[in-house]
Structure 1
Amino acid sequence: METALPTVHTFLVNAVVEHVRSCDTGLHHLRLLHEHDPIDAWSWLPTEPVDANRVLKAEVCAMPLDTQEGATHVVTRIVPMPDLDVFNLIPDGFGRTEDVVLRCRDVVDACRTSPLRRFLSDVFSMPEVYRDFWNCPASRSHHHAYPGGLALHSIEMAENVRDTPRLSDLERDVGIAHALTHDIGKLWCYAPGASHLHALGHELVGLGQLHYALERLALDWPDGAIALRSLLSGQWKRLGGKPLMAVGSLVRAYDQASAENDLRPRRRHPHRPWSPSTPDDGKVLPFRRDLRAPLQ
C-alpha cells in the first residue's frame, strides 16, 4: 500500500537571527526578528554572527512545524548577509510606543545619501543599539528620563531636521545621522556597572563605540566621516566650517527644544513660563523714536 508523503512547505525570510538557548541534543532555540512579529524556530546549524560586534543578519530558510508545545519552525539554511538594511529587521514591538520604530524607519528613509544610510544601518546593527536603543532613558533625572526616552528624543530631533526648509540634501542627511546618534553613548554609560564611563562623558564614549561604523563610512565618504566625528565630539564648535557649524547649531537647537518640551508638561522645567500681566487701563503707549523726548 502506497502512502503519500506530506508536502513540505518552506519559506525564505530576511531576519536577525537571535540565539535563545542550546539543548544537550545540539539543537539551538532561535528567534527570527524582522519588522513584524518574531518567529520562533529551532535549528542544528551554527548561529554565531560573522562579526561579534554586529547582530547576525541573514537570509533564512524555515519550515513550519507543529509540536505538542505549539507551532514553531525548523531552520534549514542560514546565509549571513551583513549588508542587509537593519531597519527592515527591527520588530515594530521593540518600541515603547506603537509608532516609534515606524517613525525611526520613516526618518531614516529620508536620508538619501547612501554612505550615511549604510552608516546608520551599521550603527543600529550593533547588539547594544539594536536591542537597547528603544528602552534606554535620555537622561538620569532630567529630560526624557524614562525607558524609551532616548529613542523618542533622538527620533523627534531627526524628524525636525528632516522637516527644516532650505537645507541642502547633504545638510539634511548629515543632520539626521547626527540627531539619531548624538546621545548613543548613553547606552553604554547607563549600563549596569558602567559608572566609570561617566568621567569621559557620553559624547566621547559614543564616538569610541562608533569607531568601526565611522571607519566604514570613511571608506565610502571620507568627508562625511570627518563631519560626523566633528559633530559627535563637539569639535564643530571650534573647528567646523560654516556649513558644518550650521548643522551642529541646528541639531543643538532641536536638542534643547525637545528637552524643554518634555519637561514642561511634567512641571520639571527649570524656568518658570513667562505670564505677562496686561496694563490695568488697557492703554497702549505710543512708540517713541527719540527715547529722550517726553511722552505726548
Structure 2
Amino acid sequence: MNDPKYIAPETYRFPAIVEMLPGYDPNHGVRCRLYHQHGCVDAWTWLSLDPIPNVLYWGWVSTMDIGSAYNDLLLLGLRENPDQLLANLLPENLCPIDGVVRQVSALIDGLRNKPLRRFMTRTLLNQEALHGYWTSPASRRDHHAYPGGLAEHSLEVATMLATSSGLPDEDRELGIVFALLHDYGKIWCYDPVSFDPVDPREHEAHGLAKLEFDLLYLRRENARLGDRMVELLGGARAPREGRYPLAIGRIVRSFDQMSCEKTRRNLTKSPTTLAAEEFA
C-alpha cells in the first residue's frame, strides 16, 4: 500500500434506494440496483441484505469503483433512513410523463405530519409500486388511460386538495395522502404481463390489502391516524354500519370526479383546440 503508483479507487456517498436482484457470483457477491434522483445504476455487494420479495432498502449508500465500466460499482455500506426525502431518491424517468415524479415527491416531502409522511414513503418504496405506480394507466379507456395516467390522475386530485382553503392541517395532509393512494390497487389491474390481473371494480379492496403492513406501521406510530386512513382507503363500498363518515373522503372523491371529467372533455377535443386552450 506504500507503492506511490497505487491509486485508491473512487468512492461515492449519496442517497439511494437499494433493490436486491436475483443471482450470486462467488467472485463479486450479490447484484443490486441503486436508484437515485438522477437515475439508477447496478452494483455488486457483499452486504447482508436479505433479498426478500418486494422489499427495498433506502438511505445513504457508500460505493466504490471496481472496474472501467459505468456500472462496475461495489456497494460498501448502507445507512438506512426512513425519513429520507423522496426527491433525493426517485429518478424522474420512472414516470413517462414529465414532472409527475418531481411534483408527487414534493407533496410527500412537504407533509408536516411525520407518521403520514413515513407511511406515504413506504407505500411507494416497494418493488411493485416503484415501477407500477408510475407507469400504470388509471383506467382501460375511461380516463387517464395511458402509461403514467395513474400517477398523473392521483397527483391532480392531491393538488386540488392541497390548494383548497378552509381545511384543518391534519385533514389536509390526510386528504393528500388518500388522494395519492385512492387508486393504488389499480397497479395490479392493468399489468399487461400479469397472469391474473385484479378486477378494476375490486381495486380499493386490493389496494387496502396490499397496504396492510404499511398501515400496521402507521397505527403503531399513531393509532387514530391509522384508523382514519383504513376507513378512507376502504372506499364507500367497504362493509360498515353507517355511511362513509369522513368528510375529507367525500371531498377527495369530488376532486376525483373533477379530474376524470377534465380528461373525458379533453378526449373529445381536437389537438388544435387543446393547444389553443393551453396557450390562451
TM-superposed CA distance for 1:183, in Å, is 0.5
Aligned to 2:37: 35
TM-superposed CA distance for 1:23, in Å, is 5.8
List per-residue Cα deviations over 1:95-146 (Å, max 9, x = no partner).
2122111110122133211111111011111211112111000011210111
| Match runs of 1:190-269 below 5 Å | 190-191=190-191, 192-195=194-197, 197-198=198-199, 201-235=202-236, 238-241=242-245, 244-245=246-247, 247-267=248-268
Aligned to 1:133: 133
Measured at CA, do residues 255 and 129 of structure 1 come closer, stay the same or move farther in structure 2, by a change above 3 Å? same
Three-state SS of the structure 1 residue aligned to 2:207 is helix
| Match runs of 1:281-296 below 5 Å | none
Aligned to 2:145: 145
Q: In structure 2, what residue type is equivalent to 1:137?
A: P
Aligned to 1:124: 124
Q: In structure 2, what residue type is equivalent to 1:32?
A: L
Does the 8 Å CA contact 2:36/2:91 hold for their aligned counterparts?
A: yes
Does the 8 Å CA contact 1:65/1:71 hold for their aligned counterparts?
A: no
Alpha-carbon separation, structure 2, partners of 1:182 and 1:24: 42
Q: In structure 2, what residue type is equivalent to 1:35?
A: Q
Aligned to 1:72: 71
Three-state SS of the structure 2 residue aligned to 1:264 is helix
Q: In structure 1, what residue type is equivalent to 2:39?
A: D
List per-residue Cα deviations over 1:144-191 (Å, max 9, x = no partner).
111110000001111111000111101100100100000001112333
Q: In structure 2, what residue type is equivalent to 1:216?
A: Y
Once the two structures are overlaid, the 10-residue window that deviates more, 229-238 or 121-130, is 229-238
| Match runs of 1:29-108 below 5 Å | 29-49=31-51, 52-67=53-68, 70-79=69-78, 81=80, 83-85=82-84, 87=86, 88-108=88-108
Does the 8 Å CA contact 1:137/1:148 hold for their aligned counterparts?
A: yes
Alpha-carbon separation, structure 1, partners of 2:135 and 2:230: 25
Does the 8 Å CA contact 2:143/2:260 hold for their aligned counterparts?
A: yes
Q: In structure 2, what residue type is equivalent to 1:60?
A: V
Once the two structures are overlaid, the 10-residue window that deviates more, 157-166 or 229-238, is 229-238
List per-residue Cα deviations over 1:218-261 (Å, max 9, x = no partner).
111111111111111125994455xx22x111101110010111
TM-superposed CA distance for 1:78, in Å, is 2.9
Alpha-carbon separation, structure 1, partners of 2:185 and 2:98: 25
Once the two structures are overlaid, the 10-residue window that deviates more, 24-33 or 202-211, is 24-33
Alpha-carbon separation, structure 1, partners of 2:85 and 2:19: 14
Three-state SS of the structure 2 residue aligned to 1:90 is coil
Q: In structure 1, what residue type is equivalent to 2:259?
A: S
Measured at CA, do residues 80 and 132 of structure 1 come closer, stay the same or move farther in structure 2, by a change above 3 Å? farther
Q: In structure 1, what residue type is equivalent to 2:127?
A: P
TM-superposed CA distance for 1:198, in Å, is 1.6
Aligned to 2:273: none
Does the 8 Å CA contact 1:8/1:63 hold for their aligned counterparts?
A: yes
Does the 8 Å CA contact 1:58/1:82 hold for their aligned counterparts?
A: yes
TM-superposed CA distance for 1:86, in Å, is 6.3
Does the 8 Å CA contact 1:42/1:72 hold for their aligned counterparts?
A: no
Alpha-carbon separation, structure 1, partners of 2:136 and 2:199: 16
Alpha-carbon separation, structure 2, partners of 1:162 and 1:199: 27
Number of aligned residues = 261
Three-state SS of the structure 2 residue aligned to 1:30 is strand
Aligned to 1:277: none
Once the two structures are overlaid, the 10-residue window that deviates more, 157-166 or 72-81, is 72-81
Alpha-carbon separation, structure 2, partners of 1:63 and 1:264: 52
Does the 8 Å CA contact 1:96/1:135 hold for their aligned counterparts?
A: yes
Structure with larger Rg: 1
Does the 8 Å CA contact 1:136/1:146 hold for their aligned counterparts?
A: yes
